[in-house]
Amino acid sequence: MLEAGFSGGCQCGAVRYAVSPGPVGQTLCHCRMCQRATGGPFAALAEVASTRIAWNGSPSTWASSNIANRGFCYRCGTPLFYRETGGTTTELTAGSLDRPETFRPTDHHGSERRLTWLSALDSLPQRPTLLEAGITLETYQDPRGA
Ligand SMILES: [Zn+2]
Ligand SMILES: [Zn+2]
């Protein structure tokens, strides 16, 4: 449960964060800006008071609009957060959590842009991650949270 405190970081490990215990808003945002900022069908976001986040490494930011910035790793590009300009909270990307399974979304935002195929996901065939025979995977990911 995220309220007990949690940690996360980017794929390469140059930017890490630790969040102290407290309330966490957990939402999915389907707006077009979140789709493009994450490169995914929606953003899964854990919102906490910005003062509760201890950063190790400095995320880069880009103003995606006049009201918000998007944070990401300058080296590997991992999307890390959404933050309203002048706001007091930071919405961390659930995929960057060390333990993403602890994320529990409670609502949907930006539902007008929700992709219609999302409702069919559970009916699709499923398979685990498998490597083709003869391929040896050498990962360059930060092992924390992998
Ligand atoms: Zn990185
Ligand atoms: Zn959004």
Q: Which CATH number do you get for residue 106?
A: 3.90.1590.10
* Residue % of the chain over a pLDDT of 90: 89
Query: What sign does the CA torsion over 20, 26, 31, 34 have?
Result: positive
Q: Which helix (H) or strand (E) holds 29?
A: strand 25-29
Residue 128 lies in a domain: no
Q: Would you say residue 67 lies in a domain?
A: yes
11 CA distance to ligand 1 centroid (A)? 5
Whose atoms come closest to the Cα of 59: which ligand? Answer: 1
Q: Residue 133 has what pLDDT? A: 80
Across the chain, which distance is largest between two alpha carbons, in Å? 52
Residue type, 89: T
Is 90 within the bounds of a domain?
yes
3-class state of residue 68 by DSSP: strand
**Number of domain units in the chain:** 1
Which ligand minimizes its atom distance to the CA of 76? 1
CA of 128 to the centre of ligand 1 (A): 25
Within-domain flag for 135: no
The range of the structural domain enclosing residue 44 comes to 2-112
Average pLDDT along the chain: 96
Q: What pLDDT, on a 0 to 100 scale, did the predictor assign at position 132? A: 79
| Inside any domain, residue 59 | yes
Helix, strand, coil shares of the chain, percent, nearest 5, are 20, 35, 45
Tell me the mean pLDDT in the region 9-36: 98
Does a structural domain hold residue 52?
yes
Do the bridges between strand 6-9 and strand 16-19 make them parallel or antiparallel, or are there none, so unpaired? antiparallel
pLDDT of residue 51: 98
Please, are residues 86 and 9 in contact by the beta-carbon 8 Å criterion?
Answer: no
What is the number of alpha carbons within 13 Å of residue 121 lying toward its C-beta? 5
Ligand 1: centre distance to CA 122 (Å): 31
Q: Considering the domain boundaries, does residue 129 fall inside one?
A: no
Q: Which ligand is nearest to the CA of 114?
A: 2
* 31 CA from centroid of ligand 2 (Å): 4
- Lowest average pLDDT, out of 6-10, 45-49, 62-66, 130-134, goes to 130-134
Kindly give the distance from the C-alpha atom of residue 126 to the centroid of ligand 1, in angstroms, as a whole number.
Answer: 29
Interatomic CA distance for residues 114 and 134, integer angstroms: 39
144 inside domain? no
**pLDDT value at 6 more than 80:** yes
* pLDDT tens digits along 85-139: 999 999 999 999 999 999 999 999 999 999 999 999 999 999 888 777 888 888 9
Residue 45 has pLDDT above 80, yes or no: yes
pLDDT at 126 (0 to 100): 93
The pLDDT, as a whole number, for residue 131 is 76
Q: Percentage of the chain with pLDDT > 70?
A: 100
Tell me the three state secondary structure of residue 6. Answer: strand
- At residue 27, the pLDDT reads 98
Ligand 2 centre distance from Cα of residue 95 (Å): 15
- State the distance from the centre of ligand 2 to the C-alpha of 43, rounded, in angstroms: 7
